[in-house]
Amino acid sequence: MKPIHELPELDNEHLLPSEQVVNYARDGHTLVRGLAKPDEISVYRTIISDLVREHNYQTKPVHERDTYGKAFIQIGNLWQMSDAVKKFVLARRFAKVAAELMGVSGVRIYHDQALFKEPGGGHTPWHQDQIYWPLDTDKTITMWMPLVPVSEEVGSMTFASASHKHGYISKQVISDESHSTLKQYIESKGLETVNYGALSAGDATFHAGWTLHSPFLS
């Protein structure tokens, strides 16, 4: 691996159109194309993938896992395991976009997660991220950035627009039960669902902590 100082810098700003900030406040989600450049992603993808392989202790075949376990391989707080990953996770470019979307002067990171979908893995049920976070604020946001291109067939994130305005909806964690409960909720409230389709590596979606979302395919 390259020395830290030779890794791509991610400190320059990515300008957001003002209407995108307005739309995020309305919908609770948005897509930022090209937030990381192809040459930047290619370097950090290798570093992150190697670290996930090193720390993945899942031994059960996919079909023997519960719904949550089938959804993805998940390794958290990689920024604490690697200075190279820390440089990526704490990038000012990403933080500035998050802050602008929330209308705040700065942000702090609660955690990072590397999520790897496996062939034959299950869908990720509908859920709200913020039920996992012990934070008494609605100024929370998730950035999801694919490290490889995501085709429309593979499936990217689907969001229930304006669901963040409903706040806390259910205490159910990611499960078949949460999927059924929240799917019914979305339908009963007539919430529009939006999927941004195919994404390039380095594109990024942002969604509020209470925004209902689900990647349906794997």
Q: What gap in Å lies between CA 70 and CA 73, rounded to an integer? A: 8
pLDDT at 206 over 80: yes
Q: What gap in Å lies between CA 162 and CA 211, rounded to an integer? A: 7
Q: What gap in Å lies between CA 163 and CA 217, rounded to an integer? A: 21
- Of 191, 192, 110, 145, which Cα lies nearest the Cα of 38? 145
What is the per-residue pLDDT across 98-121, written as a single tens digit (0 to 9) for each? 999 999 999 999 999 998 775 555
Q: Which residues of 114-142 are buried (b: 16+ CB within 10 A; e: fewer)?
A: bbbbeeebbbbbbbbbbbeeeeeeeebbb
Cβ neighbours of 3 (radius 10 Å): 8
**Mean pLDDT across the stretch 41-66?**
76
Residue 34 DSSP class: T
| β strands within the chain, DSSP E | 29-32, 73-76, 113-116, 141-144, 157-160, 193-195, 204-208, 213-215
Q: What gap in Å lies between CA 24 and CA 98, rounded to an integer? A: 11
Distances 96 to 8, 11, 104 between C-alpha atoms, Å: 17, 9, 9
Both tokens of 159, joined, read 């969001």
Q: What is the mean pLDDT of the chain?
A: 88
More confident position, 116 or 138: 138
**Mean pLDDT across the stretch 35-59?**
88
pLDDT at 173 over 90: no
The domain locations on the chain are: 4-215
CATH superfamily, with its number, for domain 4-215: q2cbj1_9rhob like domain (2.60.120.620)
* 8 Å CB contact between 2 and 50: no
Q: What gap in Å lies between CA 163 and CA 161, rounded to an integer? A: 5
pLDDT at 75: 84
What is the per-residue pLDDT across 88-103, written as a single tens digit (0 to 9) for each? 999 999 999 999 999 9
